[in-house]
Amino acid sequence: MLDLQDHIRTIPDFPKPGIMYRDITTLLSHPAALKQSVIDLSAPFKESQIELVAGIDARGFIFGTAVALALGAGFVPIRKKGKLPFDTFEQDYALEYGTDTLQIHADAVSKNQRVLLIDDLIATGGTAEAAIKLLQRTECDVVGAGFVINLPDLEGSIRIQSMGVPVTSLVSYGGH
């Protein structure tokens, strides 16, 4: 079995001093590591009867689509504001300096559908929390949230678990 952490590049001081950026492009370019990450993200949910996987713009699309295929489920994109052409629900969320908005097509998810949220990384959990709130507006059942990378010191996974959504991650890094 591969150690996925060996395939994630760390770039110090990006996008600003003090941040250790976890770059997944090196994982994506390694076929065995990419395959292993999809298998590992899917495994906890094999028996969960997932109907849809929702991926957060944009790296969540990469992993989310692959996980959806592995689980025999459909895929739903959660996009940044202004990218979806039909009726949408939207959810604002706080950034370090300001706010941003996520959107989903209003008819993308049906009441009581079993949905899994996927993204590449969870840090403070603000984006994931907004995505879950957005999904909950459709009255679906958010079964879990999966991430390739967790930065546990920033407590995002705790934030999501406090919403009643189980969190899984493949690789953890201390600090930022």
pLDDT tens digits, residue range 41-77?
Answer: 999 999 999 999 999 999 999 999 999 999 999 999 9
> Out of 59, 114, 137, 155, which one is annotated catalytic?
59
Q: Quick: pLDDT tens for 123-151.
A: 999 999 999 999 999 999 999 999 999 99
Q: Could you tell me the pTM of the whole model? A: 0.96
Q: Quick: pLDDT tens for 32-43.
A: 999 999 999 999
User: For residue 176, what pLDDT is reported?
Assistant: 67
Residue 15 has pLDDT above 80, yes or no: yes
Residue 90 has pLDDT above 70, yes or no: yes
> Out of 51, 96, 155, 159, which one is annotated catalytic?
96
Residue 175 has pLDDT above 90, yes or no: no
Q: Distance (Å, rounded) from C-alpha 87 to C-alpha 108?
A: 10
59 annotated active-site = yes
Mean pLDDT of the chain: 96
The one-letter code for the residue type at 128 is A
96 annotated active-site = yes
Tell me the domains of the chain and their CATH numbers. 37-172 (3.40.50.2020)
Residue 97 has pLDDT above 80, yes or no: no
88-125 exposure pattern, b = at least 16 Cβ within 10 A, e = fewer: bbbbebeeeeeeeebbbbeebbeeebbbbbbbbbbbeb
